């Protein structure tokens, strides 16, 4: 009888340990998926227009175009790598946010010698239409450094500027993640299962002790 009870106790502990191992694995997986889903990729790493992204702005032009309907202005920006290489992009900002970028704009046009802190501009990629591309081609030479020897035209536009601009006027959208939902479901399931296993074992143990105590009283 004692041997049977020891075997039952061993099985109970094994079941609980197995649950804890699975909960740990699912927790790590959940965190990994959550981190992956909430990591904001930089502009050069995004693959589609549904990804929220950012550009680190080191220099910025005055607006070269304005969308009156949406009250946003278009600017050229330069992002500089640690290696010294620089990339030029097009960014749309709310017209009312001009003051936020004014120090960088002034520094870019050498109106001040005080170098401002870089700014990360967040938003979504938006495919540039032909009208915007024409305005970019017409105005970009006024902003690019004098040592730049590349002439941007329709044939090489996407090679140097990509086919999109960063629209910072679009607020971040919360999207449904199937992977995160599945991980959450199984993690919740395992926690509930562990809770039920512990409660049922305690309940069964309580009944067993009560029965044992009752039988002792009857025997007397």
pLDDT in tens, 123-150: 999 999 999 999 999 999 888 876 666 7
User: For position 91, what pLDDT does the model report?
Assistant: 97
* pTM metric for this prediction: 0.70
Contacts of 101 (CB under 8 A, 6+ apart): 57, 60, 75, 93, 119
CA 52/CA 171 separation, integer angstroms? 9
pLDDT of 97 strictly over 70: yes
Query: In Å, what is the CA distance from 180 to each residue of 165, 176, 216?
Result: 30, 8, 54
CA 161/CA 168 separation, integer angstroms? 17
| Residues above pLDDT 70, as percent of the chain | 85
Bridge partners of residue 66, in order along the sequence? 73
Q: Show the CA angle centred on residue 66, arms to residues 165 and 113, nearest 5°.
A: 80
């Amino acid at each position: 009888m004692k041997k049977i009870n020891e075997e039952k106790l061993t099985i109970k502990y094994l079941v609980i340990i197995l649950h804890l191992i699975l909960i740990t694995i699912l927790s790590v997986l959940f965190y990994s998926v959550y981190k992956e889903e909430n990591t904001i990729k930089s502009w050069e790493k995004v693959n589609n227009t549904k990804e929220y992204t950012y550009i680190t702005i080191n220099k910025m032009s005055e607006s070269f175009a304005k969308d009156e309907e949406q009250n946003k202005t278009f600017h050229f920006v330069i992002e500089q790598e640690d290696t010294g290489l620089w990339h030029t992009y097009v960014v749309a900002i709310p017209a009312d946010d001009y003051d936020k970028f004014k120090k960088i704009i002034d520094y870019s046009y050498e109106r001040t010698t005080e170098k401002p802190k870089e700014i990360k501009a967040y938003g979504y990629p938006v495919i540039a239409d032909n009208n915007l591309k024409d305005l970019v081609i017409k105005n970009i030479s006024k902003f690019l450094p004098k040592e730049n020897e590349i002439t941007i035209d329709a044939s090489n536009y996407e090679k140097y500027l990509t086919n999109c601009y960063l629209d910072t006027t679009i607020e971040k959208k919360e999207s449904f993640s199937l992977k995160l939902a599945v991980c959450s479901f199984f993690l919740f399931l395992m926690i509930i299962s562990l809770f039920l296993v512990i409660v049922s074992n305690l309940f069964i143990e309580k009944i067993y002790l009560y029965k044992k105590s009752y039988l002792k009283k009857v025997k007397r």
